[in-house]
Amino acid sequence: MPMVVSDLDLDFPQASVTAITGASGRGKSTLLYLVAGMLRPAAGHVLWDGDAVDTRPDGRRAQWRATTSGFVFQDAMLDPARTVLDNVCEPALFAGMPAAHARTRASALLDTLGVGHRAGHRPGEISGGQAQRVAMCRALVTDPPVIFCDEPTGNLDDESAAVVWEVLESAAQDGATVVLATHDRRLADRSDQRVEL
């Protein structure tokens, strides 16, 4: 079986936005999943500050992800049984953030991304674009040092996409490492670094 992603040696700098671009099927999403520790590489290693995180057991990798990174999935991946606010709070609670602080932080992010009025709704009651903005809030709620985004503006209109970009750019300016897979050439052109697959 051919490997989707092979022969890569990449660095993702702190306080910057890296865009991973390329045609569909070239491995953009797979690369994100590998670097975020959700998949194990068939060969080689994923190093964070020199530590091979891919060798850790599943439970330890899950806990490590909860405290070091946020992830925006291409299809939002919200829990349909929970409210929008509870979906955003979930990773914060898993990471050990006090519930009251998590709710305050989540509410502020929802307002920033224009979906605060949907906090009490369930994912099935909001649009796809709103769900994607909620997913962005969920990824940011712990103020993680690393943020991964898989097509973060794919379901958004131009105005909403601009807000998402501003949030990501602001996170990078505050010191976060932002890595995004995108088909959006405008987004890629505004990034600090670009990786073409």
Determine the Cα–Cα distance for residues 81 and 98; give it in Å rounded to an integer.
Answer: 22
Query: Does residue 2 surpass a pLDDT of 80?
Result: no
Domain 17-196 has CATH 3.40.50.300: yes
pLDDT, position 70:
96
Angle of CA points 132, 89, 188, to nearest 5°: 35
Residue 186 has pLDDT above 80, yes or no: yes
At residue 4, does pLDDT exceed 70?
no
Q: What is the DSSP string of 23-52?
A: STTSSHHHHHHHHTTSS--SSS--EETTEE
Give the separation between CA 146 and CA 23, rounded to whole angstroms: 25
Domain ranges of the chain: 17-196
Q: What percent of the chain has pLDDT over 70?
A: 96
Instruction: Provide CB contacts within 8 A for 170, sequence distance 6+.
Output: none
Q: In the predicted model, what is the mean pLDDT of the chain? A: 91
Percent of the chain with pLDDT over 90: 66
Arithmetic mean of pLDDT, 155-166: 88
Q: Compute the 3-state secondary structure of the chain and give helix, strand, coil in percent, each to the nearest 5.
A: 45, 15, 40
| 37-56: average pLDDT | 87
The pLDDT, as a whole number, for residue 47 is 85
Q: Look at residue 49 in the predicted model and tell me its pLDDT.
A: 81
pLDDT digits (tens, 9 = 90+) for 86-125: 999 999 998 999 999 999 999 999 999 999 999 999 999 9
Q: Residue 72: which of 53, 93, 91 has the closest Cα?
A: 91
Q: Indicate if the pLDDT at residue 55 is higher than 70.
A: yes
Q: What does the pLDDT read at residue 42?
A: 86
Cα distance between residue 91 and residue 185, in whole Å: 30
